[in-house]
Amino acid sequence: MIAGFSCRTVRLTSIGRRHCTTNRITAAVSSATTTAATGRPASQSPIIAASFNSWQSRSQARFYSSSSSSPPKKKVAELNKLEAKMSAGKDYYLTLSCPDKPGIVHAVTGLLASQKLNILDLQQFSDRTSERFFMRVHFGHAESTAALDAPLAELSKELQMDYDVRATSSKPRVLIMVSKIGHCLNDLLFRTKANQLGIEVPIIVSNHPDYRPLAESYGIEFHHLPVNKDTKLEQERQILDLIKKHDIELVVLARYMQVLSPGLCEAMSGKIINIHHSFLPSFKGAKPYHQAFDRGVKIIGATAHFVTADLDEGPIIEQRVARVDHSLSPKELVEEGSNVESQVLAAAVKWWSEKKVFLNGHKTVVFN
């Protein structure tokens, strides 16, 4: 008997046990240093080495041949066909809201299944207060949505449903408005260029000329539209003309320091997002950081919200905060808050472009 090597019989009943036994025997032989008969290292015993190597080769051959079978040709063909279909089709977002009732999810998912469409992600919310139901479905691999038009229209009548279907690859066109403070504008343009927001910015409007060079550096059309109380309605008429001309779907107020008229707010209801430099509903108005300084707050924040005729009262999309203390001056509070503002506005725009934001009365539903 070799030192450290057990010669007891082992019944090999499965591939896994054969493999484990191989490992144990290999370790045992490697650790054996002498033979009982000759005193030489076990690895130098020609009979044992030849016998073990022959057994090990047969065992490993049986193990690997049984564990590496290739898939049938029919299965490979099916997988290739599925991959080709997925590559050819597009992904879409279906968003909807309607009065809540049983069976909505079943009806919508059944409709998609009937068209052999694959649901990649689904989010839903039932508001017990407003008794409304909200759903966002990311479905895939359709060459077009034409076949969905008629059944969706029929389902819309049945459920009193507002809905929209948009390709995930489409980029809604956004108009950005800015005054003299440009950190939010700069952040949005950089993120848009880096394809982080899923939008296209064809035009920038400002009541000051300061950011024309920045717009031109991105190849974006810039319109300087000065405004005062006497020219406000005419200036906003020009804005509406630009919105129509450029097929704008969303207006973003990136620190645009003018109050929009009720007429413009109504004309673009649910299509204007503003960034307010405080954690609403606290510290409304033009200088919230100075108000926060006077009150000795320990956190400052920013709020992205839809614009309504009531100043800083629109449905809130996103809010974030940063901790501060007594040592910071108003100027330092402004600097700290600028970072938060950029992050909050970018998040709100991104979620809007991904169809994750729903209006729900004076509130929003955000699937983030």
Q: How many CB atoms lie within 10 A of CB 189?
A: 22
- Cα-Cα-Cα-Cα dihedral of 213, 215, 216, 217, to 10°? 80
Rounded Cα distance between 253 and 236, Å, is: 14
Q: Which stretch of DSSP H or E encloses residue 20? A: helix 15-31
Q: Which helix (H) or strand (E) holds 330?
A: helix 330-353
**Which of the residues 121, 149, 247, 312 is marked catalytic?**
312
* Residue 164: active-site member: no
Residue 137 and residue 355: Cα distance in Å, rounded?
10
Q: How far is 70 from 72, CA to CA, in rounded Å?
A: 7
- Listed residue (272, 259, 173) closest to 221, CA to CA: 173
Closest CA to 30 of 11, 15, 49, 16: 49
Q: Which residues have CB under 8 Å from 9's CB, separation 6+? A: none
Burial of 124 (0-12, 13-18, 19+ CB in 10 A): middle
Please provide the DSSP assignment of 309-321 as one string: SSTT-SPEEEEEE
Taken as a whole, the chain contains a residue count of 368
Q: What is the 3-state secondary structure (H, E, C) of 182-193?
A: CHHHHHHHHHHH
Tokens of 324: 């501060």
For the chain, state the CA radius of gyration: 33
Measured between its terminal Cα atoms, the distance across the chain in Å is 68
Helix, strand and coil in the chain, % to nearest 5: 40, 25, 35
Please say whether the beta carbons of 175 and 246 come within 8 A. Answer: yes
Active-site residues, by number, are: 312
